[in-house]
């Protein structure tokens, strides 16, 4: 309820799934962000990888860790795609919500979190 009233939320990896309105291989949980996600779409645990990605609004590549990461199948008209990897959206913003398919915090990357705070602060 608080997020629907404007409280900012940032979901990474599974958090993206929690925010999604549509989950192809599961049930939606909070149904807050107008996206369709596919769980574990980048593969199993052994398929995990790291990548540097460009994110709109951040002046350097952001290092992300993709661990059984979801990917976005579809975004609604009110969702802004801030970054893509291999043609798929991986960082999104919709009003007070932001989501990423990966974990930046696992490698000490703070730029994405700082960017989120600048949007809501």
The residues annotated with a catalytic role in the active site are: 13, 103, 105
Three-state secondary-structure class, residue 36: strand
Buried-state track 37-68, b at ≥16 Cβ within 10 A, e below 16:
bbbbbbeeeeeeeeeebebeebeeebbbbbbb
| DSSP state string for 69-112 | --EEEEE-TTPEEEEEETTEEEEEEETTEEEESSBSGGGT--HH
């Amino acid at each position: 309820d608080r997020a629907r009233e404007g409280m900012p939320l940032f979901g990474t990896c599974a958090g993206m799934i929690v925010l999604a309105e549509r989950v192809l291989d599961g049930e939606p949980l909070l149904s807050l962000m107008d996206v369709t996600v596919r769980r574990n779409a980048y593969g199993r645990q052994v398929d995990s990888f790291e990548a540097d990605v460009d994110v709109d609004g951040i002046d350097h590549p952001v290092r992300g860790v993709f661990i059984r990461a979801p990917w976005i199948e579809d975004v609604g008209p009110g969702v802004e795609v801030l970054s893509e990897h291999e043609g798929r959206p991986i960082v999104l913003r919709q009003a007070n919500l932001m989501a990423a398919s990966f974990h930046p915090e696992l490698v000490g990357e703070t730029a994405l979190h700082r960017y989120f705070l600048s949007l809501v602060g």
